[in-house]
Chains A and B, each alone.
Chain A
């Protein structure tokens, strides 16, 4: 009895899983204008290659709630002494749901003194923003922040 129970449960789960997977396909095709999580991870892979990305060291200052997605202030700083043999080589910022997953790449030198970069970005939707830092020993560190956007960028009509 227990055996047949297991079978039905497994069959049911298998079917449900299959349905969920096929159910995803139309959603993806409808939202081709958005960067998908797959595009985000391939954009990150382009930068980090096969290396491990660890969480920590990086700080991302971005408002959690923004009214206007057309200009969102953002500051990325990395905990680094910025000496000749221990410094931040580059900082890469990515988003999840804009039409394109990249936001910017910033390349630093040990002489920077402080590993910190600020700029203003566009966000097309409420989403996650990820910053990844590459240190001089070629390790990668990341941080992710959630941002809620009231007025989306990119989608409005040009006049």
Chain B
């Protein structure tokens, strides 16, 4: 069962630079491992992560098998108005998850 952990400050002052921390639970199977009988374990990774702030894309990442399991990504943004951050993870085998967090800007 996929689950996301998001850390966004609940409130901030207009113009502040805040740090956003995100973690999505996912195996991130590289596609380079073998089982004992020699068969390759098929690749199953998250390939794309996007963050939107009140509908505008503010951060995007392309992920590769070299990203560790349970991708943890942190980045920064300047806050201009109260609203919502929306996060989206897209991956192999139709993987697609979303999460959101609100912020109050004074």
Cα of A35 to Cα of B35 in the assembled complex, Å: 22
* Interface pick from B1-9, B73-81, B83-91, B98-106: B73-81
Among A71, A105, A155, point to the contact of B61 (Cβ < 8 A).
A105
Q: A104-B63, A112-B58 are in contact. Are A158 and B78 (CB under 8 A)?
A: no
Q: How many A-B residue pairs have CB under 8 A?
A: 109
Cα of A106 to Cα of B60 in the assembled complex, Å: 6
Classify the secondary structure of B's interface with A. strand
Q: A102 an interface residue at 8 Å Cβ cutoff?
A: yes
Query: How many of B's residues come within 8 Å of A, CB to CB?
Result: 31
Are A158 and B75 in contact (CB-based, < 8 A)?
no
**Number of contact residues on A: which range applies?**
35 or more
Among A33, A104, A123, A159, point to the contact of B32 (Cβ < 8 A).
A33
Are B17 and A114 in contact (CB-based, < 8 A)?
yes
Are A103 and B66 in contact (CB-based, < 8 A)?
yes
Are B65 and A104 in contact (CB-based, < 8 A)?
no
Q: B95 an interface residue at 8 Å Cβ cutoff?
A: no
